[in-house]
Structure 1
Protein backbone atom coordinates (compact mmCIF):
# COMPACT_ATOMS: atom_id res chain seq x y z
CA UNK A 1 0.00 0.00 0.00
CA UNK A 2 2.81 2.39 0.92
CA UNK A 3 4.59 1.56 -2.33
CA UNK A 4 1.46 2.39 -4.35
CA UNK A 5 1.05 5.72 -2.53
CA UNK A 6 4.69 6.68 -3.07
CA UNK A 7 4.45 5.72 -6.75
CA UNK A 8 1.29 7.81 -7.14
CA UNK A 9 2.94 10.73 -5.33
CA UNK A 10 6.02 10.55 -7.58
CA UNK A 11 3.78 10.44 -10.66
CA UNK A 12 1.86 13.54 -9.49
CA UNK A 13 5.11 15.43 -8.85
CA UNK A 14 6.41 14.56 -12.31
CA UNK A 15 3.10 15.64 -13.85
CA UNK A 16 3.20 18.97 -12.00
CA UNK A 17 6.81 19.57 -13.09
CA UNK A 18 5.95 18.70 -16.66
CA UNK A 19 2.95 21.06 -16.69
CA UNK A 20 5.04 23.85 -15.14
CA UNK A 21 7.74 23.38 -17.78
CA UNK A 22 5.18 23.52 -20.59
CA UNK A 23 3.70 26.72 -19.10
CA UNK A 24 7.16 28.32 -19.00
CA UNK A 25 7.86 27.28 -22.60
CA UNK A 26 4.42 28.56 -23.67
CA UNK A 27 5.42 32.05 -22.48
CA UNK A 28 8.22 32.12 -25.07
CA UNK A 29 6.01 30.79 -27.89
CA UNK A 30 5.01 34.29 -29.16
CA UNK A 31 8.71 35.04 -29.79
CA UNK A 32 8.58 32.49 -32.61
CA UNK A 33 5.24 33.44 -34.17
CA UNK A 34 6.67 35.92 -36.69
CA UNK A 35 9.99 36.71 -38.34
CA UNK A 36 10.52 40.02 -36.50
CA UNK A 37 10.20 38.70 -32.94
CA UNK A 38 12.13 35.50 -33.80
CA UNK A 39 15.02 37.49 -35.26
CA UNK A 40 15.11 39.80 -32.23
CA UNK A 41 14.95 36.89 -29.78
CA UNK A 42 17.80 35.01 -31.50
CA UNK A 43 20.03 38.12 -31.57
CA UNK A 44 19.25 38.82 -27.92
CA UNK A 45 20.00 35.23 -26.83
CA UNK A 46 23.35 35.32 -28.66
CA UNK A 47 24.40 38.47 -26.80
CA UNK A 48 23.01 37.13 -23.51
CA UNK A 49 25.06 33.93 -23.83
CA UNK A 50 28.09 36.02 -24.79
CA UNK A 51 27.64 38.19 -21.70
CA UNK A 52 27.13 35.28 -19.29
CA UNK A 53 30.02 33.16 -20.60
CA UNK A 54 32.38 36.02 -21.47
CA UNK A 55 35.35 34.68 -19.40
CA UNK A 56 35.14 31.35 -21.26
CA UNK A 57 34.46 32.77 -24.74
CA UNK A 58 37.10 35.53 -24.75
CA UNK A 59 40.52 34.06 -25.63
CA UNK A 60 42.53 36.69 -23.74
CA UNK A 61 42.22 39.19 -20.92
CA UNK A 62 40.56 42.38 -22.26
CA UNK A 63 42.97 44.69 -20.42
CA UNK A 64 46.23 42.78 -21.03
CA UNK A 65 48.50 45.00 -23.19
CA UNK A 66 51.06 42.29 -23.98
CA UNK A 67 50.54 41.67 -27.69
CA UNK A 68 51.91 43.34 -30.78
CA UNK A 69 50.16 46.71 -31.18
CA UNK A 70 48.09 47.81 -34.19
CA UNK A 71 47.63 44.33 -35.61
CA UNK A 72 45.02 43.71 -38.31
CA UNK A 73 42.64 40.75 -37.79
CA UNK A 74 44.52 37.44 -37.73
CA UNK A 75 43.85 33.85 -36.68
CA UNK A 76 45.22 34.61 -33.19
CA UNK A 77 43.49 37.99 -32.84
CA UNK A 78 40.17 37.86 -34.70
CA UNK A 79 39.60 41.64 -34.49
CA UNK A 80 43.22 42.70 -34.28
CA UNK A 81 44.82 44.64 -31.44
CA UNK A 82 44.74 48.20 -30.13
CA UNK A 83 47.58 50.72 -30.31
CA UNK A 84 48.92 49.41 -26.97
CA UNK A 85 48.53 45.71 -27.78
CA UNK A 86 45.14 44.76 -26.29
CA UNK A 87 43.00 42.12 -27.98
CA UNK A 88 39.94 43.88 -29.46
CA UNK A 89 37.84 40.70 -29.76
CA UNK A 90 38.23 39.99 -26.02
CA UNK A 91 37.28 43.59 -25.25
CA UNK A 92 34.18 43.24 -27.43
CA UNK A 93 33.09 40.05 -25.62
CA UNK A 94 33.51 41.51 -22.12
CA UNK A 95 31.86 44.77 -23.20
CA UNK A 96 28.71 42.80 -24.06
CA UNK A 97 28.44 41.84 -20.37
CA UNK A 98 28.77 45.48 -19.29
CA UNK A 99 26.17 46.62 -21.80
CA UNK A 100 23.62 43.96 -20.79
CA UNK A 101 24.06 44.57 -17.05
CA UNK A 102 23.99 48.37 -17.29
CA UNK A 103 21.22 48.47 -19.90
CA UNK A 104 18.79 46.05 -18.26
CA UNK A 105 19.64 47.19 -14.73
CA UNK A 106 18.96 50.81 -15.61
CA UNK A 107 15.90 49.91 -17.71
CA UNK A 108 14.26 47.86 -14.95
CA UNK A 109 15.09 50.42 -12.23
CA UNK A 110 13.78 53.26 -14.42
CA UNK A 111 10.52 51.38 -14.95
CA UNK A 112 10.12 50.58 -11.23
CA UNK A 113 10.58 54.22 -10.23
CA UNK A 114 8.27 55.45 -12.98
CA UNK A 115 5.67 52.82 -12.08
CA UNK A 116 5.69 53.74 -8.39
CA UNK A 117 5.39 57.46 -9.05
CA UNK A 118 2.87 57.14 -11.89
CA UNK A 119 0.51 54.63 -10.25
CA UNK A 120 0.47 56.37 -6.86
CA UNK A 121 0.02 59.77 -8.51
CA UNK A 122 -2.78 58.62 -10.80
CA UNK A 123 -4.66 56.58 -8.21
CA UNK A 124 -4.41 58.85 -5.16
CA UNK A 125 -4.96 62.18 -6.93
CA UNK A 126 -5.24 65.42 -4.92
CA UNK A 127 -2.15 66.73 -3.18
CA UNK A 128 -0.27 63.50 -3.79
CA UNK A 129 -0.79 63.90 -7.53
CA UNK A 130 0.22 67.58 -7.40
CA UNK A 131 3.47 66.93 -5.53
CA UNK A 132 4.52 63.89 -7.57
CA UNK A 133 3.39 65.64 -10.76
CA UNK A 134 5.65 68.60 -9.93
CA UNK A 135 8.74 66.37 -9.65
CA UNK A 136 7.75 64.45 -12.77
CA UNK A 137 7.38 67.67 -14.79
CA UNK A 138 10.68 68.93 -13.35
CA UNK A 139 12.56 65.90 -14.68
CA UNK A 140 10.63 66.06 -17.97
CA UNK A 141 11.74 69.61 -18.80
CA UNK A 142 15.37 68.99 -17.86
CA UNK A 143 17.55 68.13 -20.89
CA UNK A 144 18.47 64.51 -20.24
CA UNK A 145 21.90 64.36 -21.88
CA UNK A 146 23.01 67.69 -20.42
CA UNK A 147 21.92 66.58 -16.93
CA UNK A 148 23.82 63.30 -17.28
CA UNK A 149 26.95 65.11 -18.46
CA UNK A 150 26.85 67.55 -15.52
CA UNK A 151 26.40 64.76 -12.96
CA UNK A 152 29.13 62.64 -14.56
CA UNK A 153 31.48 65.65 -14.63
CA UNK A 154 31.06 66.10 -10.86
CA UNK A 155 31.62 62.39 -10.22
CA UNK A 156 34.83 62.40 -12.32
CA UNK A 157 35.27 59.14 -14.21
CA UNK A 158 32.53 56.96 -12.77
CA UNK A 159 32.15 53.25 -13.51
CA UNK A 160 29.56 51.85 -15.97
CA UNK A 161 27.41 50.63 -13.05
CA UNK A 162 27.32 54.11 -11.51
CA UNK A 163 26.47 55.49 -14.94
CA UNK A 164 23.55 53.06 -15.18
CA UNK A 165 22.29 54.13 -11.74
CA UNK A 166 22.43 57.82 -12.75
CA UNK A 167 20.57 57.07 -15.99
CA UNK A 168 17.84 55.27 -14.03
CA UNK A 169 17.47 58.06 -11.45
CA UNK A 170 17.18 60.74 -14.12
CA UNK A 171 15.18 58.96 -16.83
CA UNK A 172 12.01 57.74 -15.09
CA UNK A 173 9.77 60.75 -15.78
CA UNK A 174 8.46 59.77 -19.24
CA UNK A 175 7.40 56.36 -18.00
CA UNK A 176 5.78 57.88 -14.91
CA UNK A 177 3.68 60.16 -17.11
CA UNK A 178 2.41 57.21 -19.18
CA UNK A 179 1.69 55.08 -16.09
CA UNK A 180 -0.19 57.96 -14.44
CA UNK A 181 -2.45 58.41 -17.49
CA UNK A 182 -3.20 54.69 -17.69
CA UNK A 183 -3.86 54.47 -13.94
CA UNK A 184 -6.35 57.35 -14.10
CA UNK A 185 -8.18 55.47 -16.87
CA UNK A 186 -8.26 52.20 -14.91
CA UNK A 187 -9.20 53.84 -11.59
CA UNK A 188 -12.73 54.55 -12.86
CA UNK A 189 -13.44 51.01 -14.05
CA UNK A 190 -16.08 48.82 -12.42
CA UNK A 191 -13.65 46.19 -11.15
CA UNK A 192 -11.75 48.87 -9.18
CA UNK A 193 -15.01 50.10 -7.64
CA UNK A 194 -15.87 46.50 -6.69
CA UNK A 195 -12.43 46.08 -5.10
CA UNK A 196 -12.95 49.25 -3.03
CA UNK A 197 -16.38 48.08 -1.88
CA UNK A 198 -14.94 44.72 -0.81
CA UNK A 199 -12.64 46.54 1.61
CA UNK A 200 -9.41 46.06 -0.32
CA UNK A 201 -6.67 48.52 0.66
CA UNK A 202 -5.36 51.13 -1.79
CA UNK A 203 -1.93 49.50 -1.86
CA UNK A 204 -3.40 46.09 -2.68
CA UNK A 205 -5.62 47.56 -5.41
CA UNK A 206 -2.62 49.23 -7.02
CA UNK A 207 -0.51 46.05 -6.87
CA UNK A 208 -3.08 43.36 -7.69
CA UNK A 209 -5.64 45.22 -9.84
CA UNK A 210 -3.99 48.15 -11.62
CA UNK A 211 -0.42 46.97 -12.32
CA UNK A 212 -1.41 43.61 -13.88
CA UNK A 213 -3.67 45.48 -16.32
CA UNK A 214 -0.71 47.56 -17.50
CA UNK A 215 1.67 44.69 -18.25
CA UNK A 216 2.01 45.51 -21.96
CA UNK A 217 2.92 49.13 -21.13
CA UNK A 218 5.31 48.02 -18.36
CA UNK A 219 7.05 45.50 -20.63
CA UNK A 220 7.30 48.02 -23.46
CA UNK A 221 8.70 50.63 -21.08
CA UNK A 222 11.38 48.19 -19.87
CA UNK A 223 12.41 47.47 -23.46
CA UNK A 224 12.73 51.09 -24.55
CA UNK A 225 14.20 52.25 -21.21
CA UNK A 226 16.86 49.56 -21.62
CA UNK A 227 17.56 50.72 -25.16
CA UNK A 228 17.82 54.32 -23.97
CA UNK A 229 20.16 53.31 -21.13
CA UNK A 230 22.45 51.39 -23.50
CA UNK A 231 22.68 54.36 -25.88
CA UNK A 232 23.17 56.85 -23.01
CA UNK A 233 25.94 54.78 -21.40
CA UNK A 234 27.72 54.36 -24.73
CA UNK A 235 27.35 58.06 -25.50
CA UNK A 236 28.72 59.18 -22.13
CA UNK A 237 31.63 56.74 -22.34
CA UNK A 238 32.41 57.87 -25.90
CA UNK A 239 32.50 61.51 -24.74
CA UNK A 240 34.91 60.57 -21.92
CA UNK A 241 32.54 61.15 -18.99
CA UNK A 242 33.12 57.62 -17.70
CA UNK A 243 36.18 55.79 -16.47
CA UNK A 244 38.08 55.43 -19.75
CA UNK A 245 39.87 52.34 -18.43
CA UNK A 246 36.59 50.43 -17.93
CA UNK A 247 35.55 47.80 -20.48
CA UNK A 248 32.46 48.78 -22.46
CA UNK A 249 31.50 49.37 -26.07
CA UNK A 250 31.41 53.10 -25.35
CA UNK A 251 35.00 53.17 -24.08
CA UNK A 252 36.08 51.08 -27.08
CA UNK A 253 34.64 53.79 -29.33
CA UNK A 254 36.33 56.45 -27.18
CA UNK A 255 39.79 54.93 -27.62
CA UNK A 256 39.17 54.24 -31.32
CA UNK A 257 38.23 57.90 -31.82
CA UNK A 258 41.20 59.18 -29.79
CA UNK A 259 43.57 57.09 -31.90
CA UNK A 260 41.98 58.19 -35.22
CA UNK A 261 40.93 54.64 -36.09
CA UNK A 262 38.47 55.86 -38.72
CA UNK A 263 41.01 58.13 -40.44
CA UNK A 264 43.58 55.32 -40.46
CA UNK A 265 41.04 52.82 -41.82
CA UNK A 266 41.24 50.58 -38.75
CA UNK A 267 37.64 49.39 -39.16
CA UNK A 268 38.04 46.39 -36.83
CA UNK A 269 38.37 48.74 -33.87
CA UNK A 270 35.28 50.98 -34.23
CA UNK A 271 32.80 48.89 -36.28
CA UNK A 272 32.35 45.91 -33.84
CA UNK A 273 31.30 48.03 -30.79
CA UNK A 274 29.02 50.21 -32.92
CA UNK A 275 27.51 47.12 -34.54
CA UNK A 276 27.06 45.48 -31.10
CA UNK A 277 25.15 48.51 -29.76
CA UNK A 278 22.98 48.58 -32.88
CA UNK A 279 22.19 44.85 -32.81
CA UNK A 280 21.26 44.79 -29.11
CA UNK A 281 19.00 47.80 -29.67
CA UNK A 282 17.45 46.16 -32.74
CA UNK A 283 16.79 42.93 -30.81
CA UNK A 284 14.91 44.86 -28.10
CA UNK A 285 12.78 46.69 -30.65
CA UNK A 286 11.93 43.48 -32.52
CA UNK A 287 11.18 41.53 -29.32
CA UNK A 288 8.72 44.21 -28.28
CA UNK A 289 6.32 42.82 -30.93
CA UNK A 290 6.24 39.50 -29.05
CA UNK A 291 6.00 41.13 -25.62
CA UNK A 292 3.02 43.16 -26.80
CA UNK A 293 1.40 40.01 -28.11
CA UNK A 294 1.91 38.23 -24.76
CA UNK A 295 0.54 41.01 -22.59
CA UNK A 296 -2.04 42.71 -24.82
CA UNK A 297 -5.47 40.97 -24.62
CA UNK A 298 -6.69 42.66 -27.82
CA UNK A 299 -3.92 41.08 -29.88
CA UNK A 300 -4.71 37.68 -28.34
CA UNK A 301 -8.38 38.04 -29.33
CA UNK A 302 -7.44 39.15 -32.86
CA UNK A 303 -5.14 36.13 -33.19
CA UNK A 304 -7.95 33.77 -32.08
CA UNK A 305 -10.35 35.36 -34.60
CA UNK A 306 -7.84 34.90 -37.42
CA UNK A 307 -7.38 31.24 -36.47
CA UNK A 308 -11.15 30.66 -36.39
CA UNK A 309 -11.48 32.45 -39.73
CA UNK A 310 -8.84 30.22 -41.32
CA UNK A 311 -10.49 27.08 -39.95
CA UNK A 312 -13.89 28.23 -41.26
CA UNK A 313 -12.41 28.97 -44.68
CA UNK A 314 -10.81 25.51 -44.85
CA UNK A 315 -14.06 23.87 -43.80
Structure 2
Protein backbone atom coordinates (compact mmCIF):
# COMPACT_ATOMS: atom_id res chain seq x y z
CA UNK A 1 0.00 0.00 0.00
CA UNK A 2 2.79 2.41 0.90
CA UNK A 3 4.60 1.74 -2.37
CA UNK A 4 1.37 2.21 -4.31
CA UNK A 5 0.89 5.60 -2.66
CA UNK A 6 4.48 6.81 -3.05
CA UNK A 7 5.27 5.68 -6.61
CA UNK A 8 2.93 8.16 -8.41
CA UNK A 9 4.29 11.07 -6.37
CA UNK A 10 7.79 10.79 -7.81
CA UNK A 11 6.33 11.20 -11.30
CA UNK A 12 5.07 14.66 -10.34
CA UNK A 13 7.59 17.49 -10.93
CA UNK A 14 6.14 19.71 -8.23
CA UNK A 15 6.49 16.97 -5.64
CA UNK A 16 10.08 16.24 -6.66
CA UNK A 17 11.04 19.93 -6.39
CA UNK A 18 9.28 20.46 -3.06
CA UNK A 19 10.53 17.21 -1.58
CA UNK A 20 14.12 17.91 -2.69
CA UNK A 21 14.12 21.34 -1.03
CA UNK A 22 12.60 19.97 2.16
CA UNK A 23 15.01 17.03 2.19
CA UNK A 24 17.94 19.45 1.80
CA UNK A 25 16.93 21.40 4.91
CA UNK A 26 16.13 18.19 6.78
CA UNK A 27 19.67 16.94 6.15
CA UNK A 28 21.06 20.35 7.14
CA UNK A 29 19.20 20.16 10.44
CA UNK A 30 20.15 16.57 11.20
CA UNK A 31 23.73 16.40 10.01
CA UNK A 32 24.79 20.06 9.87
CA UNK A 33 25.57 20.41 13.59
CA UNK A 34 27.53 17.14 13.44
CA UNK A 35 29.92 18.41 10.75
CA UNK A 36 30.05 22.07 11.77
CA UNK A 37 30.99 21.61 15.40
CA UNK A 38 30.71 25.20 16.64
CA UNK A 39 28.80 26.13 19.78
CA UNK A 40 25.97 28.44 18.67
CA UNK A 41 25.84 30.07 22.12
CA UNK A 42 29.58 30.72 22.50
CA UNK A 43 30.30 34.46 22.71
CA UNK A 44 33.51 35.85 21.19
CA UNK A 45 35.05 39.25 20.56
CA UNK A 46 34.32 38.91 16.82
CA UNK A 47 30.99 40.63 17.18
CA UNK A 48 28.86 41.75 14.19
CA UNK A 49 31.39 40.45 11.68
CA UNK A 50 30.23 39.87 8.07
CA UNK A 51 30.68 36.43 6.45
CA UNK A 52 34.30 35.33 6.31
CA UNK A 53 36.39 32.18 6.22
CA UNK A 54 36.32 32.02 10.01
CA UNK A 55 32.55 32.57 10.19
CA UNK A 56 30.84 31.61 6.88
CA UNK A 57 27.64 33.47 7.82
CA UNK A 58 29.22 36.06 10.09
CA UNK A 59 28.51 36.72 13.76
CA UNK A 60 25.82 38.48 15.75
CA UNK A 61 26.05 41.29 18.32
CA UNK A 62 27.47 38.90 20.92
CA UNK A 63 30.02 37.32 18.58
CA UNK A 64 28.05 34.09 18.21
CA UNK A 65 28.45 32.18 14.95
CA UNK A 66 25.35 32.66 12.77
CA UNK A 67 25.91 29.49 10.72
CA UNK A 68 26.01 27.38 13.88
CA UNK A 69 22.81 29.07 15.06
CA UNK A 70 21.18 28.44 11.69
CA UNK A 71 21.99 24.72 11.64
CA UNK A 72 20.76 24.19 15.20
CA UNK A 73 17.77 26.44 14.53
CA UNK A 74 16.69 24.39 11.50
CA UNK A 75 16.90 21.23 13.60
CA UNK A 76 14.80 22.71 16.42
CA UNK A 77 12.18 24.26 14.12
CA UNK A 78 11.74 21.02 12.17
CA UNK A 79 11.53 19.06 15.42
CA UNK A 80 8.81 21.40 16.70
CA UNK A 81 6.98 21.12 13.36
CA UNK A 82 7.08 17.31 13.32
CA UNK A 83 6.06 16.98 16.98
CA UNK A 84 3.19 19.46 16.63
CA UNK A 85 2.06 17.63 13.48
CA UNK A 86 2.02 14.25 15.23
CA UNK A 87 -0.03 15.65 18.11
CA UNK A 88 -2.54 17.31 15.76
CA UNK A 89 -2.81 14.22 13.56
CA UNK A 90 -3.45 11.88 16.48
CA UNK A 91 -6.07 14.12 18.11
CA UNK A 92 -7.85 14.82 14.82
CA UNK A 93 -7.86 11.15 13.80
CA UNK A 94 -9.22 9.96 17.15
CA UNK A 95 -11.98 12.56 17.35
CA UNK A 96 -12.95 12.40 13.67
CA UNK A 97 -13.01 8.61 13.42
CA UNK A 98 -14.88 7.90 16.65
CA UNK A 99 -17.35 10.67 15.86
CA UNK A 100 -18.11 8.93 12.55
CA UNK A 101 -18.39 5.47 14.14
CA UNK A 102 -20.37 6.31 17.28
CA UNK A 103 -22.82 8.85 15.85
CA UNK A 104 -25.56 10.10 18.20
CA UNK A 105 -24.64 11.86 21.42
CA UNK A 106 -20.95 10.99 21.11
CA UNK A 107 -20.84 12.58 17.66
CA UNK A 108 -22.63 15.69 18.97
CA UNK A 109 -20.24 16.09 21.90
CA UNK A 110 -17.06 15.51 19.90
CA UNK A 111 -18.15 17.82 17.08
CA UNK A 112 -19.24 20.40 19.64
CA UNK A 113 -15.74 20.39 21.13
CA UNK A 114 -14.26 20.53 17.64
CA UNK A 115 -16.40 23.52 16.67
CA UNK A 116 -15.46 25.37 19.86
CA UNK A 117 -11.74 24.87 19.21
CA UNK A 118 -12.21 25.69 15.52
CA UNK A 119 -13.92 29.02 16.21
CA UNK A 120 -11.52 29.99 18.98
CA UNK A 121 -8.61 32.20 17.86
CA UNK A 122 -6.01 29.50 18.43
CA UNK A 123 -2.97 31.75 18.12
CA UNK A 124 -4.32 33.97 20.91
CA UNK A 125 -4.90 30.95 23.16
CA UNK A 126 -1.37 29.73 22.38
CA UNK A 127 -0.01 33.17 23.27
CA UNK A 128 -1.92 33.18 26.57
CA UNK A 129 -0.71 29.71 27.52
CA UNK A 130 2.88 30.46 26.55
CA UNK A 131 2.87 33.76 28.43
CA UNK A 132 2.03 31.97 31.69
CA UNK A 133 4.92 29.53 31.34
CA UNK A 134 8.22 30.87 32.62
CA UNK A 135 10.18 27.98 31.11
CA UNK A 136 9.20 26.76 27.65
CA UNK A 137 11.05 23.84 26.11
CA UNK A 138 10.79 23.08 22.40
CA UNK A 139 8.54 20.13 23.32
CA UNK A 140 6.20 22.41 25.29
CA UNK A 141 5.93 24.85 22.39
CA UNK A 142 5.15 21.94 20.05
CA UNK A 143 2.41 20.70 22.40
CA UNK A 144 0.87 24.17 22.63
CA UNK A 145 0.78 24.47 18.85
CA UNK A 146 -0.34 20.88 18.26
CA UNK A 147 -3.35 21.22 20.57
CA UNK A 148 -5.03 23.79 18.33
CA UNK A 149 -4.32 22.68 14.74
CA UNK A 150 -6.51 19.59 14.51
CA UNK A 151 -10.20 20.74 14.27
CA UNK A 152 -10.42 21.17 10.47
CA UNK A 153 -8.76 17.77 10.03
CA UNK A 154 -11.18 16.08 12.47
CA UNK A 155 -14.20 17.49 10.61
CA UNK A 156 -12.82 16.38 7.25
CA UNK A 157 -12.04 12.89 8.57
CA UNK A 158 -15.52 12.57 10.03
CA UNK A 159 -17.13 13.53 6.71
CA UNK A 160 -15.04 11.05 4.73
CA UNK A 161 -15.50 8.17 7.17
CA UNK A 162 -19.26 8.63 7.43
CA UNK A 163 -19.47 7.84 3.72
CA UNK A 164 -17.16 4.85 4.18
CA UNK A 165 -19.40 3.52 6.96
CA UNK A 166 -22.11 2.76 4.41
CA UNK A 167 -19.94 0.37 2.41
CA UNK A 168 -20.58 -3.36 2.47
CA UNK A 169 -17.24 -4.50 3.88
CA UNK A 170 -17.78 -2.22 6.89
CA UNK A 171 -21.20 -3.75 7.47
CA UNK A 172 -19.63 -7.21 7.31
CA UNK A 173 -17.04 -6.19 9.90
CA UNK A 174 -19.78 -4.87 12.20
CA UNK A 175 -21.78 -8.09 11.77
CA UNK A 176 -18.62 -10.07 12.54
CA UNK A 177 -18.48 -8.37 15.92
CA UNK A 178 -15.57 -6.00 15.39
CA UNK A 179 -15.05 -3.54 18.24
CA UNK A 180 -15.13 0.17 17.42
CA UNK A 181 -11.36 0.41 17.85
CA UNK A 182 -10.70 -2.55 15.55
CA UNK A 183 -13.17 -1.20 13.00
CA UNK A 184 -11.40 2.17 12.98
CA UNK A 185 -7.90 0.71 12.72
CA UNK A 186 -8.52 -2.06 10.19
CA UNK A 187 -11.34 -0.72 7.99
CA UNK A 188 -11.54 3.05 8.27
CA UNK A 189 -8.10 4.58 8.77
CA UNK A 190 -6.57 2.86 5.68
CA UNK A 191 -9.14 4.66 3.50
CA UNK A 192 -7.89 8.10 4.65
CA UNK A 193 -4.14 7.36 4.58
CA UNK A 194 -3.35 9.67 1.67
CA UNK A 195 -5.44 12.53 3.07
CA UNK A 196 -3.84 12.06 6.49
CA UNK A 197 -0.38 12.25 4.92
CA UNK A 198 -1.30 15.47 3.11
CA UNK A 199 -2.67 16.93 6.34
CA UNK A 200 0.47 15.88 8.22
CA UNK A 201 2.55 17.94 5.79
CA UNK A 202 0.34 20.97 6.43
CA UNK A 203 0.55 20.41 10.18
CA UNK A 204 4.36 20.51 9.98
CA UNK A 205 4.07 23.79 8.11
CA UNK A 206 1.74 25.20 10.75
CA UNK A 207 4.06 24.12 13.56
CA UNK A 208 7.08 25.81 12.01
CA UNK A 209 5.19 29.03 11.28
CA UNK A 210 3.54 28.99 14.70
CA UNK A 211 6.89 28.65 16.47
CA UNK A 212 8.33 31.50 14.44
CA UNK A 213 5.35 33.70 15.32
CA UNK A 214 5.56 32.93 19.04
CA UNK A 215 9.33 33.46 19.09
CA UNK A 216 9.08 36.83 17.34
CA UNK A 217 6.93 38.17 20.18
CA UNK A 218 9.16 36.63 22.83
CA UNK A 219 7.03 33.57 23.66
CA UNK A 220 9.02 30.87 21.90
CA UNK A 221 11.29 28.28 23.50
CA UNK A 222 13.34 29.59 26.42
CA UNK A 223 15.86 26.80 25.93
CA UNK A 224 17.87 26.16 22.79
CA UNK A 225 17.82 27.95 19.43
CA UNK A 226 15.25 27.96 16.66
CA UNK A 227 14.78 29.91 13.45
CA UNK A 228 12.17 32.05 15.14
CA UNK A 229 14.48 32.84 18.03
CA UNK A 230 17.20 33.90 15.59
CA UNK A 231 14.77 36.36 14.02
CA UNK A 232 13.72 37.59 17.45
CA UNK A 233 17.33 38.30 18.40
CA UNK A 234 17.87 40.11 15.09
CA UNK A 235 14.77 42.25 15.66
CA UNK A 236 15.74 43.10 19.25
CA UNK A 237 19.20 44.21 18.14
CA UNK A 238 17.78 46.14 15.15
CA UNK A 239 19.80 44.12 12.67
CA UNK A 240 17.61 45.25 9.77
CA UNK A 241 18.06 48.96 10.49
CA UNK A 242 21.81 48.57 10.99
CA UNK A 243 22.29 46.52 7.83
CA UNK A 244 23.39 43.26 9.45
CA UNK A 245 21.81 41.24 6.65
CA UNK A 246 23.76 38.05 7.39
CA UNK A 247 21.96 37.80 10.72
CA UNK A 248 18.30 37.94 9.66
CA UNK A 249 18.35 36.85 5.98
CA UNK A 250 19.48 33.19 6.50
CA UNK A 251 16.79 32.24 9.07
CA UNK A 252 14.15 34.15 7.11
CA UNK A 253 15.06 32.39 3.87
CA UNK A 254 15.14 29.02 5.66
CA UNK A 255 11.62 29.50 7.04
CA UNK A 256 10.29 30.63 3.66
CA UNK A 257 12.01 27.79 1.78
CA UNK A 258 10.89 25.05 4.17
CA UNK A 259 7.28 26.22 4.45
CA UNK A 260 7.03 26.85 0.69
CA UNK A 261 8.42 23.38 -0.05
CA UNK A 262 5.81 21.84 2.26
CA UNK A 263 3.02 23.73 0.51
CA UNK A 264 4.33 22.56 -2.87
CA UNK A 265 4.44 18.97 -1.59
CA UNK A 266 0.85 19.23 -0.35
CA UNK A 267 -0.34 20.74 -3.65
CA UNK A 268 1.44 18.03 -5.64
CA UNK A 269 -0.12 15.30 -3.49
CA UNK A 270 -3.54 16.82 -4.05
CA UNK A 271 -2.95 16.77 -7.79
CA UNK A 272 -1.84 13.13 -7.72
CA UNK A 273 -4.53 11.71 -5.45
CA UNK A 274 -7.46 13.99 -6.31
CA UNK A 275 -8.96 12.80 -9.64
CA UNK A 276 -10.48 16.23 -10.32
CA UNK A 277 -7.07 17.91 -10.18
CA UNK A 278 -5.10 15.17 -11.87
CA UNK A 279 -3.40 16.39 -15.00
CA UNK A 280 -4.69 14.93 -18.22
Tell me the TM-score normalized by structure 2: 0.92
Number of paired residues? 280
Among 32, 35, 40, the residue aligned to 1:62: 40
Give the secondary-structure state (helix, strand or coil) at the position aligned to 1:83: coil
Determine which of 162, 167, 172 is the counterpart of 1:189: 167
Change (3 A) 1:123 1:27: closer
1:264 aligns with 2:226: no
Matched with 2:126 is 148
SS of the residue corresponding to residue 155 of structure 1 reads coil
Which of the residues 28, 32, 42 maps onto 1:50? 28
Shift, 1:28, TM fit: 4.8
Q: 1:150 to 1:269 in 2, by over 3 A?
A: same
Higher deviation after alignment, 72-81 or 239-248: 239-248
2:136 pairs with 158, 162, 168, which one? 158
CA displacement, residues 52-87 of structure 1 (integer Å, 9 cap, x when unaligned): 213223241111112410101111111110001000
1:227 counterpart = 2:169: no
Contact between 1:244 and 1:251, CA under 8 Å: does it hold in 2?
no
Q: Which residue number in structure 2 is paired with residue 14 of structure 1?
A: none
User: When you count helix as a share of all residues, which structure comes out higher?
Assistant: 1
The structure 2 residue matched to 1:116, chosen from 94, 99, 104, is: 94
CA distance in 2, matches of 1:152, 1:290: 35
Q: Tell me the equivalent position of 1:83.
A: 61
Q: Aligned-pair distance for 1:138?
A: 1.4
- In 1: Cα distance, 2:152 partner to 2:3 partner: 33
Q: 1:242 to 1:116 in 2, by over 3 A?
A: same
1:198 aligns to 2:176 (yes or no): yes
Runs of 5+ in structure 2 lacking a partner? none
How far 1:27 moved relative to its partner? 6.2
CA contact (8 A) 2:14 2:264 kept: yes
- What residue ranges of structure 1 are gaps of 5+ in the alignment? 1-22, 307-315
Match of 1:177 in 2: 155
Q: Relative to 1, partners in 2 of residues 1:152 and 1:66: Cα closer, same or farther, differing over 3 Å?
A: same
TM-score between the two structures when normalised by the length of structure 1: 0.82
Flag the structure with larger Rg. 1
- Please give the per-residue CA displacement for 1:205-264, whole angstroms capped at 9, x wherever unaligned: 111111111112111110111101110011101110124553000000000000111111
Distance 1:25 1:191 in 2: 24
- Aligned-residue CA RMSD in angstroms? 2.2
- Does the CA contact (< 8 Å) of 1:216 and 1:292 recur in 2? no
Matching of residues 18-33 of structure 1 within 5 Å: 28-33=6-11
- In the TM superposition, residue 32 of structure 1 has moved relative to its aligned partner by 3.0
Cα contact 1:32–1:38 (8 A) shared by 2: yes
Give the match for residue 16 of structure 1.
Answer: none
1:129 aligns with 2:107: yes
- Output the CA distance in 2 between the equivalents of 1:91 and 1:24: 36
